[in-house]
């Protein structure tokens, strides 16, 4: 457990700017969804833009870390589709 926490702290310290960008975008996304609640097209566009941002952020993050592989990109795409599916269920009235 100590080893895991040590690695997480090390990762956060090395890439603090990347994670701040992701968290800021996530907060902006949630605020935008709340502002356009009930407007299906706007919600879809906001969700789509955030998902594209998330995939691009993941590619950028791993490029700077020199750990980008096709498997990693596919993982980000899969997670993005899972997020879309879950939010689609939550957003439906």
Report the domain count for the chain. 1
pLDDT category at 37 given cuts 50, 70, 90 is: confident
pLDDT at 70: 93
Domain range for 52: 2-91
Residue whose tokens read 């356009």: 36
pTM over 0.85: no
Q: Which of 11, 93, 88 is nearest to 51 (CA)?
A: 88
* pLDDT band, residue 91 (cuts 50/70/90): low
pLDDT at residue number 84: 83
> pLDDT value at position 88?
77
**pLDDT, the chain, mean:** 88
């Amino acid at each position: 457990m100590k080893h895991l926490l040590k690695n997480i702290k090390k990762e956060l310290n090395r890439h603090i700017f990347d994670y701040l960008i992701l968290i800021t975008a996530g907060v902006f996304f949630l605020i935008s969804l709340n502002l356009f609640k009930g407007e299906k097209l706007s919600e879809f566009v906001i969700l789509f833009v955030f998902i594209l941002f998330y995939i691009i952020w993941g590619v950028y993050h791993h490029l700077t870390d020199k750990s980008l592989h096709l498997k990693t990109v596919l993982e980000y795409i899969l997670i993005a589709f899972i997020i879309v599916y879950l939010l689609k269920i939550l957003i439906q009235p």
